[in-house]
Amino acid sequence: MQTPTTASPRGTTLQVLGDAAFVACSWTWCIGMFLPVLLLRDMGPWSFVAFAVPNCIGAALLAWWMKGSAGSGRFVHTHRSAMVAFSAVTIAFQSFFVAWFAMRLGLTDPGLGVMVALLAGALLFPGNLFDDGPRRAFSLAVLGASVLLLATSAWQDNPVQAWTQLPAPERPAAHVWPLLAVCMLGFGCSPLLDGTFHAALQRSASGTGKPEFALGFLLLFPLMILGTLAYGAVLLVLAATQGLSVVPANLTTVVMVHIALQAGFTLAAHGAWARHPAGGAARLDISLGAVIVGVLLAMFGRVLVGGVGVDSASLGMVPHEVLYRAFLAFYGLVVPLYVLGCCLGSLGVFPHAPGPSLPRIAVLVAGGAIAATFYTRGFMLRDTPQLWAGAAIVLGAGLAARWLPGPKGKGQGVA
């Protein structure tokens, strides 16, 4: 297997498109495939703008932050452990999400069989994802299949009509602003720790990654989340008129196949990267363990949520939505703290030595513990204005931690 260590020579338009499809599909998680549905229910259409704009721009900017393959390589070398942890949580999150609605389908539902087959297929062939030719071809095939599935869903379900029948949002429109603040933090920082992005950048057809990331996140990925907006409107209307829960299992079979396809791609990509971070020797495969954790959380979700004293019904959620939102805290709280406190020196933004150290981690943990209170109120209790305080604490703690000695004391960062 070729390892993602060396930038490819300037490639053809089709190769650039293949790399763009790879990063777009790698970033189409259970966040982009379901969170817009919950936000549309809670805060209405403007919540999608608050979600989508920082998401697309934050991911696209990675190629500019890294300053090419060499800069990406240095970043991965410094933050490899954090990036492997990022992949582990991401694999567990996708596994939890798929298991959540698989459990609700029942063994006789045809969508379940298709979904299991797609996930198994993706996990059986992860090594090909970093061989340039197969990776690009597979990515284009997956992207094309998802676009076709989303178009079929739109043709069958008429989301335009559903859009005119949307129930009133459960929260005031002003709640979109604190949501935007957290989305800017989360989507601005999370792409930096995504190892699959760095692998694509280091082997990009253009040599810089800029056209691939621009095309992937300013055109291809927006198509995917616009598809989410379309089937989300249909689900919300069905939930309001037929008394259904806003859960993935109530989506159509066509949409479920799209979700399974993209979740399988994400599992395979992150599993492949975590086994060979920075193109190094194979490491312990975290994929299976992370999948097991995610599935167990789904299997025992109701017991876990009730066991910690959370009454999900009083929050207007099913128990698994509580766990889904808890996963989101990793990307909106933990990742921004680490990036702000330990990574800015790697980007040449500040002259402090990059990387984690005990003093930095102590400040980040303390700040995170305080911010978690406000994030819990904002995301779990849906008292969204509380997110203002949470985001401010994350920003303050992260920026304060960078002034503390790094792993080698204060020094110059890696530009």
Domain boundary among 299, 317, 340: 299
Residue 278 and residue 402 in one domain: no
Distances, alpha carbon 327 to alpha carbons 21, 73, 80, in Å: 26, 28, 21
Does 3 map to a domain?
no
- How far apart CA 221 and CA 236 sit, in angstroms, is 23
- How far apart CA 177 and CA 234 sit, in angstroms, is 25
Measured N-to-C along each axis, helices 69-105 and 319-329 cross at an angle, to the nearest 10 degrees, of: 170
- pLDDT tens-place string over residues 216-245: 999 999 999 999 999 999 999 999 988 777
pLDDT value at residue 277: 63
Domain boundary among 299, 331, 353: 299
**Token digits of residue 104:** 């609700």
Domain boundary among 247, 266, 299: 299
Does 141 map to a domain?
yes
Enumerate residue ranges in the chain where pLDDT < 50: 1-9, 125-126, 281-282, 409-415
Distances, alpha carbon 180 to alpha carbons 183, 185, 188, 384, in Å: 5, 9, 11, 11
Owning domain of residue 388: 304-415
pLDDT value at residue 4: 45
- Residue 407's φ and ψ, nearest 5 degrees, are -65, -20
pLDDT value at residue 312: 84
Residue 63 and residue 178 in one domain: yes
pLDDT value at residue 412: 40
Contacts of residue 372, defined as CB under 8 A and 6 or more positions apart, other chains included, come to: 329, 333, 390
Number of domains in the chain: 2
Residue 40 and residue 139 in one domain: yes
pTM of the predicted protein model: 0.91
Residue 69 and residue 107 in one domain: yes
Residue 369 and residue 286 in one domain: no
- How far apart CA 199 and CA 317 sit, in angstroms, is 37
pLDDT value at residue 115: 56
